[in-house]
Amino acid sequence: MKIHGHRGARGLYPENTIQGFIEAINLGVDVLEMDVVISADAEVVVSHEPWMHHQICTQPNGNAISEADSKKHNLFQMPYHQIKQYDCGLLPHPRFPKQLKTAAYKPRLADVIDACTKHCKQYNLKPIGYNIETKCTPSGDAVYHPKPARFVQLLVDVLEQKNVLQHSYIQSFDIRTLQFIKQQHIPVSSVFLADYKADVASYIQTLGFAPDVISPSFNLVDAEMVTYCKQNNMAVIPWTVNEKNTMLQMFNLGVDAIITDYPDVAIACFKAHSCK
């Protein structure tokens, strides 16, 4: 079973940072899961929110960002050189007490791929895959991000330039992202993210076609879903699977991969057979 490191290895290192991605590779993940947004100067930036989250980032002068002001630090309104001045690695994360604190910034996707490719070559490691979520919503168009066609094209351009498109997945809760990929015949794996309970046929009806992957919250996965997907040539990759007993449950159900904040636990679980 494949292991996707959620935002790198969020339980252990600052999320969506080059440091975290490199350490996730060192742990042995198969795929790096991450999120992208777009800057004011059309750079594809790795970030879960299209703003500076108050729990993760501090201002360039070191001052805290209040929860009320988080969305005022809108990445879509900032050129990348300004985004890079914020630290997003030193604040203690309230949900991840084991997370190593280190100075870090929100990187461009191109720089992440360059760093990971160089690291894999330097240490003779297998090439890494990329599972990339577009952080967009209809209400966010032209406020926090461009419309899907522009957003996806900017992302695909980077993946093509770095020669990793065919080793990548593009995932989204916003079906417009996946529909654009389908309409443009882009040769990348499309991933339907699901956070609500429904049968897979309903997901397909909502999307308008069968994606390459169904990626539901782990608590939505059951044997019926896995069987249907296998019969219809779709992979199942649940998120975010952090507990050993849940990892074992997903394995027994026959999912194709899991997305986890703790790839160290997952890798020990399945490669050293220490789940039981």
Alpha helices for 44-170 (secondary structure H): 80-83, 109-122, 148-161
Task: Report the pLDDT value the prediction gives residue 66, as an integer from 0 to 100.
Answer: 98
- Cα distance between the two ends of the chain: 16
Distance CA 154, CA 202 (A): 30
Is residue 204 domain-resident?
yes
Residue 273 has pLDDT above 80, yes or no: no
Burial of 41 (0-12, 13-18, 19+ CB in 10 A): exposed
Beta bridge partners of 133: 35, 171
Task: Report the pLDDT value the prediction gives residue 272, as an integer from 0 to 100.
Answer: 66
Q: Pairing between strand 44-46 and 31-38? A: antiparallel
Q: Model confidence over 198-237: pLDDT tens digits?
A: 999 999 999 999 999 999 999 999 999 999 999 999 999 9
Residue 10 has pLDDT above 70, yes or no: yes
Q: Model confidence over 160-199: pLDDT tens digits?
A: 999 999 999 999 999 999 999 999 999 999 999 999 999 9
Distance CA 192, CA 176 (A): 11
Is residue 13 domain-resident?
yes
Crossing angle for the helix pair 109-122 and 148-161, to the nearest 10 degrees: 30
Q: Which domain holds residue 203?
A: 2-51+95-271
Is residue 276 domain-resident?
no
Tally of CB atoms within 10 A around 153: 13
Q: Which two tokens stand for residue 195?
A: 């956070």
Is residue 147 domain-resident?
yes
Q: Model confidence over 36-53: pLDDT tens digits?
A: 999 999 999 999 999 999
Mean pLDDT in the chain?
A: 97
Q: What percent of the chain has pLDDT over 70?
A: 99
Is residue 172 domain-resident?
yes
- Band (pLDDT 50/70/90 cuts) for residue 276 is low
Is residue 7 domain-resident?
yes
Is residue 75 domain-resident?
no
Is residue 199 domain-resident?
yes
Indicate the SS3 state at residue 175.
helix
Residue 3 has pLDDT above 70, yes or no: yes
Total domains in the chain come to: 1
Distance CA 177, CA 154 (A): 12
Q: Which two tokens stand for residue 109?
A: 């996707």
Radius of gyration of the CA atoms of the chain, in A: 18
Whole-prediction pTM: 0.97
Task: State how far Cα 125 lies from the chain centre.
Answer: 21
CATH number at 8 reads 3.20.20.190
CA angle 93, 97, 99 (to 5 degrees): 75
Distance CA 144, CA 136 (A): 8
Longest CA–CA separation in the chain, Å: 55
